[in-house]
């Protein structure tokens, strides 16, 4: 069985999600199977230095592919799928993957399975487990032919980074494949991290929709101050204007990996878990015992967050030894 792993690069550097997709493919591969990594970008140096877990690497490199548009990526990927004929294409459930994978499925006439968090290979074939309805339901899909899976980032630990074996890298000229593109990248807006970069924080107190309203964030902010932590929020909190965008955790916010991640009233949608599931220690507080956040938490409490935080604040304010 042949696997094609769609990697992602930015500015010539390999995104960490690429190693997660490689690990997902390896989790389903058996001895004798082949795992091929597709690299599209402005440089292959970093990818070649880290994608040694792949059996082969196909690189499509050009200066204007530093941040490839979805159209450019899809064109190149379609050509590789046609030439390689992989049984399974593994793509991340990312901003790029959301645009590219469905187009590949439609144009290559392949079924697609999204929100995948697990791949199992047994005597009966390959089974993909997906997290649906905001992570509240797990669905199993039997894959019986050529298909595409979109894997939720954070579901697999990154494959060990190592250099590619000699002779395992094959360059692909992208020029004829991306001629006459209809979409042109004009520029990129990057957040100004001068104020705060929560991606560098060692401790984070994150509030979710369960916090109720903007005023109620103050009790969590006090806890963050007492813990010498940064305050952060899930997307609903930021969308409501209760916290600035720079403090959003998740797919459309920042990916974080602090030593401590305290989630207060966060349900744990897949997009949020993508941004924080690799934290060293995750403590979740939610009144819903079936909240998906508990699937990644090391410790959890199904109690009223205000009662718990008030008690924590009182204890942390108390003099040492009292």
Given 3-state DSSP classes, what are the helix, strand and coil percentages for the chain, each rounded to the nearest 5?
30, 25, 40
Measure the N-to-C terminal CA separation of the chain; round to a whole number of Å: 63
CATH superfamily placement of domain 2-171: HUPs (3.40.50.620)
Mean pLDDT for the chain? 93
Q: Alpha carbon of 79 to those of 72, 94, 136, 177: distances in Å?
A: 11, 21, 37, 8
Sign of the Cα pseudo-torsion (245, 249, 251, 257, in order): positive
What is the C-alpha to C-alpha distance for residues 13 and 15, in angstroms, rounded to an integer? 6
∠ CA 16-20-24, rounded to 5°:
165
Same CATH fold assignment for domains 2-171 and 198-317: yes
How, if at all, do strands 203-207 and 260-264 pair? parallel
Query: What does the buried/exposed string (b/e) look like for 182-191 if buried means 16 or more CB atoms within 10 Å of the residue's CB?
Result: eeeeeeeeee
H/E segment holding residue 158: none
∠ CA 67-72-77, rounded to 5°:
110
Contact 210, 286 (CB under 8 A): yes
CATH superfamily placement of domain 198-317: TPP-binding domain (3.40.50.1220)
60 contacts: CB under 8 Å, gap ≥ 6: 38, 39, 40, 41, 76, 171, 172, 173, 174, 177
Instruction: Quick: pLDDT tens for 172-203.
Output: 999 999 999 999 888 877 666 566 889 899 99
Instruction: Quick: pLDDT tens for 242-299.
Output: 999 999 999 888 889 999 999 999 999 888 988 898 899 999 999 999 899 998 999 9
What is the C-alpha to C-alpha distance for residues 102 and 95, in angstroms, rounded to an integer? 12
pLDDT at 38 over 70: yes
Q: Where are the domains of the chain?
A: 2-171, 198-317
Rounded to two decimals, the pTM is 0.79
Q: What is the mean pLDDT of the segment spanning 1-18?
A: 93
Query: What does the buried/exposed string (b/e) look like for 279-289 if buried means 16 or more CB atoms within 10 Å of the residue's CB?
Result: beebbbbbeee
What is the C-alpha to C-alpha distance for residues 146 and 136, in angstroms, rounded to an integer? 28
Q: Which of 109, 101, 111 is nearest to 143 (CA)?
A: 111
């Amino acid at each position: 069985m042949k696997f094609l792993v769609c990697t992602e690069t930015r500015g010539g550097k390999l995104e960490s999600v690429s190693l997660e997709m490689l690990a997902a493919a390896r989790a389903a591969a058996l001895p004798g199977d082949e795992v091929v990594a597709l690299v599209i970008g402005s440089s292959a140096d970093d990818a070649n230095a880290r994608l040694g877990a792949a059996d082969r690497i196909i690189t499509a490199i050009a200066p204007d592919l530093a941040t490839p548009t979805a159209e450019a990526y899809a064109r190149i990927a379609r050509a590789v799928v046609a030439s390689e004929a992989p049984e399974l294409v593994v793509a991340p459930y990312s901003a790029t993957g959301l645009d590219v994978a469905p187009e590949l499925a439609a144009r290559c006439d392949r079924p697609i399975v999204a929100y995948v968090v697990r791949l199992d290979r047994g005597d009966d074939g390959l089974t993909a487990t997906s997290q649906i309805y905001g992570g509240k339901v797990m669905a199993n899909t039997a894959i019986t032919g050529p298909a595409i899976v979109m894997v939720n980032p954070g579901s697999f630990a990154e494959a060990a980074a190592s250099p590619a074996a000699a002779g395992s890298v094959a360059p692909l000229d992208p020029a004829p494949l991306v001629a006459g593109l209809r979409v042109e990248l004009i520029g990129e807006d990057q957040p100004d991290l001068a104020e705060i970069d929560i991606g560098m924080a060692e401790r984070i107190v994150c509030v979710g929709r369960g916090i109720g309203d903007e005023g109620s964030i103050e009790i969590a902010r006090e806890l963050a101050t007492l813990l010498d932590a940064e305050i952060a929020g899930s997307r609903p909190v930021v969308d409501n204007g209760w916290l600035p965008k720079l403090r959003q955790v998740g797919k459309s916010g920042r990916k974080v990996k602090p030593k401590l991640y305290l989630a207060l009233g966060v349900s744990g949608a897949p997009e949020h878990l993508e941004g924080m599931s690799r934290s060293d220690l995750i403590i979740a507080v939610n009144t819903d015992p079936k909240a998906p956040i508990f699937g990644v938490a090391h410790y959890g409490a199904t109690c009223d967050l205000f009662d718990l935080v008030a008690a924590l604040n009182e204890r942390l304010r108390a003099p040492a030894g009292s």
